[in-house]
Amino acid sequence: MQDPRIRLVTTILLSAAAWISLPGAVLSILWWLICGKARTSIRSIRSFFIILIVPGVMGLAAVWSGEDGLSYVVRIVAVLIIASWMYAERYPGELLDVGVWFLGTKTGFDLGLIGELSMSSLDTLARETDRISVALRQKGTPLSLRMIPAVFSGILIRQLNLAQERAILLTLRGYTRGGMHCPSFSSPDIDRINGAFSCTIFLLSLIAGDFFNIAGSTFIV
Amino acid sequence: MNTPQIRLTGVSRKRGAFTLQADAEFGAGIHLLTGRVGSGKTTLGELLAGIGEPDFGTIQWNGGRRVMLLQDTSYHISTMTVQEEAGSWHGDAERIIRTAGLTGKEHTDLLRLSRGEVRRLELAAILTGQYDLIVLDEPWAGLDEEARRWVRQLIDSHAHEIIVIISHDLTSLPHIDQLWEMECGRLKQLGQVPACLSKWTKAPPLVRYLLNKGVHLSGLSREELEEAVCRIPG
């Protein structure tokens, strides 16, 4: 999906649809398979299962306490898949584009800039984690719990240094608030069609989730 | 002992608009890889070190395959103190600490060391270890002149392994055997040092100046360059 505006709206709608109801979650996963071409930023099944550890434990706890833990896990999986699809589709600068298009060159620029800096920090973090894992493997030291303070303090210090360097750069370039930016977007028809599908899934999920049934009064029947 | 050798045949790796291409053979000795920022030096170093695979072509190893890649930050650190960190390299911890010049700081928290001291500890652990290929990506970053000299001496004692130095800083080099240049993603072997220096079209200003002055260069190490400067006529 090339248009980041449609992608952002689609992500919000599908995440909400997945969270509201189980059918919404299943439809969101189907949307990802068909319209999203099953693109994901999760690079291996192993990583996917590692990500699922915490929701899995929460799901088990829910089942143990008599709640519908399976539904919780499926909905979380759908939300994670949609988030990973969005991350895989993004290109540098799109948050700034969308921010300025939506909220202008002051607030929009600032929010877009914050978003871009955060995303690039996530990229750096992912790259560093890769490098650390390779470095430890070459060193012949298997990853263990005892290493966590040393490894994480290194990551934290490098992230703080990076933030400081960026702050200095922005200051040197005269940044105080807002800035000039002229976003341009490419919106092919297929993006609009896929976006429309996500709206439909959101509405279906609202209905399936009994969202309009408040205090015994049905708003849509 | 089996002499290590790496052969890259038709290796290419594409990332967006950038394509790295390499056909080369790295034997035992000290190799210098130079080139502009973004020309693909680090990518090649990572391929040699086994981080990622080429899209096409093969990388063949002859001899052992113990690899170590040192990049510009402390990715290897896995403990909190100097003593623990030296011990975590599975070598002679005392020798590592002594080589790094950190005797007396064994129980110091690594966070309290300067960047240069941490760098020295890592380099000492790597260069006192048993590896067939060592890739040093900008090894002099963050080091003062005394520490640079210490690194040069340490590297000079490793002629039986393959050491690939990736660096922009050509004023602190140890004795170099082979010179390589990366140009827009294409690896070029310039040849044996010092024979290749006269045809090094993109030599750094100091080397170019010396060559233009007609001074014969016996190598690229700091000491060899200093000696060449002393021989400038007039």
Residues from chain B contacting residue A156 (CB–CB below 8 Å): none
Residues 6+ apart with CB under 8 A from A120: A92
Q: Do B228 and B215 touch, CB atoms closer than 8 A?
A: yes
Q: Using N-to-C axis directions, what is the helix angle for A148-172 and A109-139, rounded to 10°?
A: 140
* Amino acid A216: pLDDT: 52
CA A101, CA A96: separation in Å to the nearest integer? 8
Q: Do A21 and A208 touch, CB atoms closer than 8 A?
A: yes
CA B96, CA B103: separation in Å to the nearest integer? 10
A152 pLDDT higher than 70: yes
CA B46, CA B61: separation in Å to the nearest integer? 15
Query: Between these two residues, A42 and A190, which has the higher pLDDT value?
Result: A190
CA B147, CA B123: separation in Å to the nearest integer? 11
CA B234, CA B222: separation in Å to the nearest integer? 22
Ordered per-residue pLDDT tens for chain B, 234 residues:
567 789 999 999 998 888 999 999 999 899 999 988 888 998 999 899 888 889 999 999 887 778 898 886 678 999 999 999 999 998 899 999 999 989 999 999 998 998 888 888 998 999 888 888 999 998 888 788 888 888 888 888 776 789 999 987 788 888 899 999 998 899 999 999 888 988 887 888 888 888 888 888 888 888 888 888 888 876
Residues from chain B contacting residue A154 (CB–CB below 8 Å): 73-75, 77
Q: What is the ipTM of this complex?
A: 0.80
Minimal Cα distance from B76: which residue of A?
A: A135
In the DSSP assignment, the letter for residue A108 is I
Minimal Cα distance from B49: which residue of A?
A: A138
A28 pLDDT higher than 70: yes
Residues from chain B contacting residue A140 (CB–CB below 8 Å): 89-90
* Amino acid A211: pLDDT: 63
CA B123, CA B119: separation in Å to the nearest integer? 6
CA A181, CA A45: separation in Å to the nearest integer? 39
Name the nearest CA neighbour of A147 among B72, B110, B101: B110
As to burial, measured by CB atoms within 10 angstroms (0-12 exposed, 13-18 middle, 19+ buried), residue A87 is middle
- Which pairs with CB-CB distance under 8 Å and at least 24 residues apart come from B105-108? B106/B81, B106/B82, B107/B81, B107/B82, B107/B83, B108/B81, B108/B82
Q: How far are the Cα atoms of A42, A146, A205, B8, B109 from residue A150, in angstroms, in the given order?
A: 26, 8, 45, 36, 10
CB atoms inside a 10 Å sphere around CB B72: 12
A138–B67: do the CB atoms touch at under 8 Å?
yes
* Amino acid B223: pLDDT: 84
Q: How is residue A3 written in tokens?
A: 């248009």
HEC assignment per residue over B145-190: HHHHHHHHHHHHCCCCCEEEEECCCCCCCCCCCEEEEEECCEEEEE
A69 pLDDT higher than 90: no
Q: If pLDDT is split at 50, 70 and 90, which confidence band does A220 have?
A: very low
B88–A139: do the CB atoms touch at under 8 Å?
yes
Instruction: Report yes or no: A57 at the B interface, CB cutoff 8 Å.
Output: no
Residues from chain B contacting residue A132 (CB–CB below 8 Å): 75
Instruction: Report yes or no: B228 at the A interface, CB cutoff 8 Å.
Output: no
Helix (H, G, I), strand (E, B) or coil at B128: coil
Q: Do B6 and B45 touch, CB atoms closer than 8 A?
A: no
* Amino acid B171: pLDDT: 80
Instruction: Report yes or no: B141 at the A interface, CB cutoff 8 Å.
Output: no
Instruction: Report yes or no: A92 at the B interface, CB cutoff 8 Å.
Output: no
Name the nearest CA neighbour of A198 among A24, A73, A78: A24
A205 pLDDT higher than 60: yes
Minimal Cα distance from B52: which residue of A?
A: A134
A146 pLDDT higher than 90: no
Q: Do B87 and B128 touch, CB atoms closer than 8 A?
A: no
* Amino acid A219: pLDDT: 46
